[in-house]
Amino acid sequence: MRILIIRLSSIGDVILTTPVLKSLKEKYPNIIIDFLVMKNFKDAIEGCPYIDNLIIFDKSKGDGLKELVSFGKELKKNKYDYIFDLHSKIRSKIISKTIGGKIYTYKKRGLLKTILVKSRIIKYRVDNTIVKNYFNAFEVLGVKYKKEDLTFSYTNEDLQKVVNLSVDIENVPIIAPGASKETKKWTQEGFAQLVKLLYEKYNKKPLIIGSKSEYEMCDRIRMMSGDLGVNLAGKLTLKESGALLSKARFLVTNDSGPFHIGRGVKCPTFVIFGPTSPEMFEYDNENILVYLGEECSPCSLHGDKDCPKKHFNCMKKLNAKKIMKIIEETGR
């Protein structure tokens, strides 16, 4: 049996498919799994031991209807027994329909609910976790949900590059202050104060990770902490970030890609939620939720540029001492 799984973006959503991939391989050891992802996000899944063929869609080479249909026709030659569209948007639908055959998608949020949330008429409440929704698409193959066990793969070369950094990486706390939307970010002042508290407790400079575009933000946090952190933003690839997190004492992050990378390499992770719903994921002793549960939260599907209430209480009321207390209560 050969199947195609489509999840084009983004980092977290791609990594969240890995529990399904693992379960498929456990139930059907001889199954051939092809995985289609956009080029910009291939590092989120490349090297995954549960994928046989990673197929890359490079939209820079053409992203119109003609190019999508042509791409789908090429994939049709693989004669898939099943296609599972876990992206379920226009681009993936065109590709899957062009391939044809047995196509299954996962249940997405209804249009009416989306409109009501975006209009601030109702709060956003999820129907189920993302991973469980993914599993629902595979009922036809009898694959059952077990747990939210994520996988993020990196190479020995990635690990060696991290080891060769001129900083202490063993058992060091790491913070990831970035996020795709402004309201998903805890305050820079809060992160800076947390860096101070972490340094005082562990006597090691916490590492600050992020993308190249987040360098200045991360450096402001470093400076506000009194230079008690090490800014590695923009200095690591996604794979190298995963390798680094595999060596960390723990990670403190916003609702963003590093949350899932950390979980994928079994790094204890404290994740901060504000305007978005924490019910999208599951938590345990290794993945700890930090959430004030303000009356107006969750207010957004994916975060916004500004707080719709203009007070941003869901993040501003959260202080570093509270997070430090949560960390200490876990015995770390």
Cα 80 to the center of its chain, rounded Å: 28
Average pLDDT over residues 29-33: 98
Amino acid 232: pLDDT: 98
pLDDT band at 294 (very low <50, low <70, confident <90, very high): very high
**Domain spanning 156-329: CATH 3.40.50.2000:** yes
Residue % of the chain over a pLDDT of 90: 90
In the sheet with 207-208, reading across from the earlier edge strand, the strands are: 230-231, 207-208, 173-176, 250-254, 269-273, 287-291
Listed range (26-40, 111-125, 126-140, 227-241) with the worst mean pLDDT: 111-125
Flag whether pLDDT at 124 surpasses 80.
Answer: no
C-alpha atoms less than 13 angstroms from C-alpha of 195 in its C-beta half-sphere = 29
Question: Same CATH topology for 2-141 and 156-329?
Answer: yes
Amino acid 283: pLDDT: 96
Flag whether pLDDT at 323 surpasses 60.
Answer: yes
Higher-scoring residue by pLDDT: 110, 74: 74
Give the start-to-end residue ranges of the domains of the chain. 2-141, 156-329
Amino acid 302: pLDDT: 84
In angstroms, the CA 126 to CA 123 distance is 10
Flag whether pLDDT at 126 surpasses 80.
Answer: no
pLDDT band at 300 (very low <50, low <70, confident <90, very high): confident
Amino acid 127: pLDDT: 80
In angstroms, the CA 79 to CA 137 distance is 20
Average pLDDT over residues 111-134: 73
**Domain spanning 2-141: CATH 2.30.30.40:** no
Flag whether pLDDT at 115 surpasses 70.
Answer: no
